[in-house]
Amino acid sequence: MIVLKSAREIDLMRRGGQILADVMEMLRGFVKPGLSTLEIDEEVEEFIVARGAKPAFKGYRGFPATVCISINEEIVHGIPSAHRRVKEGDIVGLDLGCIVEGYYADCAFTMPIGEIPARVQELLDVTRQSLDLAITQCRPGQRLSDISHAVQRHVEAHGFGVVRAFVGHGIGRNLHEDPQIPNFGEPGHGPQLKKGMVVAIEPMVTMGSYDVRILDDGWTAVTKDGSLAAHFEHTIAVTDNGPDVLTRRVAA
C-alpha cells in the first residue's frame, strides 16, 4: 500500500534530508586517502546525533554501522571496518540515512578519491545525471515506470549497466515502503504518481555486467565481473509544483 504524506510529515522528512545534505557536504571535504571506513562511519554518526537525529541504518535488519560504505566494485551495503582504508584512485559510495521524529530520509553519492580515469568519472557523472532525469518524472500524473525508464535510457545510452537486483523505494515512517522502484523498464506502467508520495530513487550503475553477488559478510553486494560501480540517491516528495528533493541542500 502506498501511503501519501501530509505537509507536516514531508516537513519532518525535509529536516532529516537537510541533515543528510549537510553530511554529504561534510564528507566531500573529510574523506581522504588513509582514512579507515570505520573512521568515516564514526564521524557521520557523531554528526547526525549532534543534529538531534538518529542514524537510520544502524541495527536495521542487523546492519552494524551508520553508513554503508562501498568502494570500487562494491555496489551497496559495504560494512565499515577499521582495517579498510580509502586509497588514492578509489571511488567511494556513501549511503546515508537518518530519522527525525519517527520519519526517515535516505540518500547516497559516490565520490572519487583524487584523480580517476576519464571513463570512471563518466560512470559517476552518468549515474548522477540518471538520478536527476528520474527526479524530473516525479510529478502527479506520471507513472512509476517513467522514473525507471529515465534511468535505464540514460545509463545504457552511455554503455553502462543498470543493476537490477536492488531498487528504489517509498519512504516515510519506515525506511522501505511501497512502491518498489526499479531502475529499468518501459515507460507508462505502474501506479500513477500522486501528490504526497515520497520516494527514494537510487540508480546503481556498473562499468560492466549488472550481475551481482553477495560477499560472505551477508551484506556487501559486489559486481560479479569485478567492474566498478556507482550509486546516487535522493529522497523526493511529489507535489503539485513538481518534484521536491528533500535531501538536496536548500540555500539559506
Q: For the chain, give every domain's residue range.
A: 7-245
The answer to whether 120 touches 137, Cβ cutoff 8 Å, is: no
**Domain 7-245: CATH class, spelled out:** alpha beta
Q: Is the pTM of this model over 0.75?
A: yes
What is the rounded CA–CA span in Å between residue 114 and residue 110?
Answer: 13
The answer to whether 222 touches 75, Cβ cutoff 8 Å, is: yes
User: Shortest CA distance to 226 belongs to which of 237, 246, 212, 242?
Assistant: 212
> What is the structure's pLDDT at 250?
78
The answer to whether 32 touches 222, Cβ cutoff 8 Å, is: no
**Residue ranges of the chain with per-residue pLDDT less than 70:** 251-252
The amino acid sitting at 196 is G
**All three cell numbers of 249:** 541542500
How many angstroms from the chain centroid is the CA of residue 47? 19
> What is the structure's pLDDT at 252?
58
- The single residue listed with the C-alpha cell 582504508 is 85
